[in-house]
Amino acid sequence: MGQRVAIVGTGQTYHRSSRKDVNGVELIQEATARALEDAGLTRKDIDAVVIGNMDHFEGINYVDMWSIDGNGGLHKPIMKVTTGGTTGTTVAIAAFYHVASGLFDTVLAIGWEKNSESDTTAAIITCADPFWERPTFGGAIAGLATGALGYMHRYGITERDAALISVRDRKNAVKNPYAHLREEITVEDVLNSPMLAYPIKLLDICPRTDGACAVVFASEEKAKHLTDRPAWIHQVSTRHNYTFFTDVDRSGRMPTLYEACMEVYRNAGIKDPLHELDVVEMYTPSSFAGLVWIDALGVCDEGEAVKLVSDGVTEMDGELPINPSGGVISTNCIGATGLIRVAEAAMQVSGKAGEHQVPGAKTALATGFGGCHWSDVLLISSRKPS
């Protein structure tokens, strides 16, 4: 009836806007090697591999097959999972189920993207329905822009309010050696950055990054021998309710994120996430989303996130730090981004986050976003699940 699962090692590449020195397979291998080293394992010890990215970004069909030299999967079971922006978290969840099922004891999860190799927006546009939505759709940026405008209208938030998220995350990234963008910015910097699609400006949105991330999931029995600081996966949840962007129910909190969080909290017995969680690695594709969706985490009332953020609650020294790694706004290698959230959350509760460690963090939430409001949520803790 299932076994307990823990993360016993993580690895990331040093994310950059263009890695001309490696091809995709080599990029994957970098992260994989680091994760194995962190876990104290070799390729021999891995029972199965799960990998994900967005096909059209690199123009390669059947990436799990193509990257076999770098992903450790030769002569092993391997499968590919892909769900757009949530690919990284979906990969983590798949690796979790591989181990939880009892069929595998040590599973390697890999997420990666070489955004420099293609036109990101052009590729994303093809996720929209070819007849009804592609002609107008301007990629993730334009899609998020219409959402952001809606939030401004509904909750009265301003561009200045949203900028706080970019400023916070970019400041945190300075202490994260793996992050892509590692310079602090000010609210004025954000407001003065070029307008891409109103109201989203360059510094409101995630960058395009080349990078890979690998995470080793292990059964309780294996984890015991590998580390004294395992990061246990307590709960995972996914919601993806829509096919058309225009069907999304925008009458309340971000619907799928809220539903997924509530399912996780319900199953884990969490009643007061603001105080029971120690840190959140939240997938924030834009500053506006990063601001408004905080209420979907259930840590404040609907529309009240601005107060939380401006009061410093989500800063590194606040009650509930969000994105100590610098988040998506500092690094966005799309296929890896969700997995980086999981890796960073695991690093936090294992005390392995170095300079961007939240002191005493024991319980972390990692979220993923993509698709048509696809949301993944994972609850990770240093305490073993009952």
Q: State which of positions 91-130 bind other proteins (CB under 8 A).
A: 93-94, 96-98, 100-103, 119, 121-127, 129-130
Rounded to an integer, what distance in angstroms lies between the CA atom of residue 188 and that of residue 117? 32
Identify whether the C-beta of residue 319 lies closer than 8 Å to the C-beta of residue 170. Answer: no
Identify whether the C-beta of residue 126 lies closer than 8 Å to the C-beta of residue 118. Answer: no
Per CB under 8 A, the list member of 1, 225, 228, 359 interacting with other proteins is 1
44 binds other proteins (CB under 8 A): no
Q: What is the x/- site pattern for other proteins, positions 141-180, by CB under 8 A?
A: xx--xxx-xx--x---------------------------
Adjacent-strand bridge partners of 109? 50, 215
Rounded to an integer, what distance in angstroms lies between the CA atom of residue 22 and that of residue 39? 24
Identify whether the C-beta of residue 205 lies closer than 8 Å to the C-beta of residue 194. Answer: no
Nearer to other proteins, 21 or 228 (CB): 21
How many residues does the structure list for the chain? 386
Nearer to other proteins, 146 or 357 (CB): 146
Structure tokens at 239: 């919601």
Token look-up 């609850």 returns 379
206 binds other proteins (CB under 8 A): no
268 binds other proteins (CB under 8 A): no
Q: How far is the CB of 344 from other proteins (least distance, A)?
A: 22
Q: How far is the CB of 182 from other proteins (least distance, A)?
A: 23
Per CB under 8 A, the list member of 30, 64, 210, 295 interacting with other proteins is 64
Q: What is the x/- site pattern for other proteins, positions 182-201, by CB under 8 A?
A: ------------xxxxxxx-
76 binds other proteins (CB under 8 A): yes
Decide: helix, strand or coil at residue 130.
coil
Adjacent-strand bridge partners of 7? 217, 231
Nearer to other proteins, 178 or 374 (CB): 374
Q: How far is the CB of 167 from other proteins (least distance, A)?
A: 22
Nearer to other proteins, 78 or 347 (CB): 78
Q: How far is the CB of 44 from other proteins (least distance, A)?
A: 15
The type of residue at 206 is: C
Per CB under 8 A, the list member of 17, 33, 43, 138 interacting with other proteins is 138
Nearer to other proteins, 104 or 178 (CB): 104
Beta pairing, strands 200-201 & 195-197:
antiparallel
DSSP 205: B
Q: What is the x/- site pattern for other proteins, positions 223-242, by CB under 8 A?
A: --------------xxxxxx
Q: How far is CA 73 from the centre of its chain?
A: 23
Q: Find all residues with CB under 8 Å of 323, minimum gap 6, and list them.
A: 168, 169, 172, 280, 281, 282, 284, 290, 329
Nearer to other proteins, 154 or 383 (CB): 154
